């Protein structure tokens, strides 16, 4: 695949939102790294997978969900064409989700909210739809391959050509 066909999409979300699951579902051959931090009690997790869409590769990165790994999210997010904010709709809305949402808005990154775990008992997607009523929102279940691929491809098709003229997303 030539360099001019690359598209980078980064998944943000809290610990346990389903980022690793989503990357694995989208690309069964994806890679997952867990690096121990100093002290050995916390791990920084990174997921990477690829999906071929209309002859172009979409490169998907999952970020660490712990609040204190902002620096890692900044590094992984560099040069992204678009972002997915993945939310576990069986958990309450919290400040961290708002922080991730507000950061994407402030950075003017095209993003979509995936409301995840909609298959679960106790899922409350309507709460999040109300909370983020201005954003593009899709209900998914990250364990469902068809749903996840459809949601990714629909979002990727909305992305403008890459900011760098040498690597357009389309
Ligand atoms: N029922 C259900 N469970 C899910 C879904 N997505 C993720 N999970 C589960 O949620 C837990 C956390 O997922 P994980 O991918 O490790 O979250 P991460 O910390 O964001 O990477 C795991 O036990 C997953 O199996 C989903 O769509 N439906
Ligand atoms: Mg993970």
Tally of structural domains, the chain = 1
Is residue 166 included in any domain, yes or no?
no
Domain housing 91: 7-158
What pLDDT does residue 141 have?
A: 97
What pLDDT does residue 40 have?
A: 60
CATH number for 15: 3.40.50.300
How far apart are the C-alpha atoms of 106 and 96, rounded to whole Å? 15
Is residue 118 included in any domain, yes or no?
yes
Does ligand 1 lie within 6 Å of residue 141's CB atom?
yes
Does ligand 1 lie within 6 Å of residue 85's CB atom?
no
Backbone angles phi, psi at 55, to 5 degrees: 85, -5
Averages of pLDDT over runs of 10 residues in the chain (170 residues) are: 71 96 98 78 84 94 93 95 98 96 97 97 96 96 97 95 48
How far apart are the C-alpha atoms of 59 and 48, rounded to whole Å? 7
Is residue 165 included in any domain, yes or no?
no
Is residue 168 included in any domain, yes or no?
no
3-state helix, strand, coil in the chain (%, to 5): 30, 30, 40
Ligand 2 centroid to residue 166 C-alpha, Å: 32
How far apart are the C-alpha atoms of 20 and 11, rounded to whole Å? 9
Is residue 151 included in any domain, yes or no?
yes
Is residue 138 included in any domain, yes or no?
yes
This prediction has a pTM of 0.92
What pLDDT does residue 39 have?
A: 63
């Amino acid at each position: 695949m030539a360099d001019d066909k690359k598209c980078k999409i980064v998944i943000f979300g809290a610990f346990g939102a389903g980022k690793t699951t989503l990357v694995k579902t989208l690309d069964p051959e994806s890679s997952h790294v867990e690096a121990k931090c100093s002290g050995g009690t916390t791990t920084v997790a990174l997921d990477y997978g690829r999906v071929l869409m209309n002859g172009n590769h979409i490169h998907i990165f999952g970020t660490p969900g712990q609040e204190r790994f902002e620096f890692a999210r900044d590094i992984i997010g560099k040069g992204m064409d678009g972002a997915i904010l993945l939310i576990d709709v069986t958990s309450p809305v919290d400040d961290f989700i708002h922080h991730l949402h507000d950061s994407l808005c402030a950075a003017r990154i095209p993003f979509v909210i995936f409301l995840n775990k909609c298959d679960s008992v106790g899922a409350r997607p309507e709460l999040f739809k109300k909370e983020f009523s201005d954003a593009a929102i899709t209900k998914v279940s990250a364990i469902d391959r068809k749903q996840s691929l459809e949601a990714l491809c629909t979002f990727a098709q909305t992305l403008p050509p890459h900011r760098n003229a040498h690597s357009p997303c389309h």
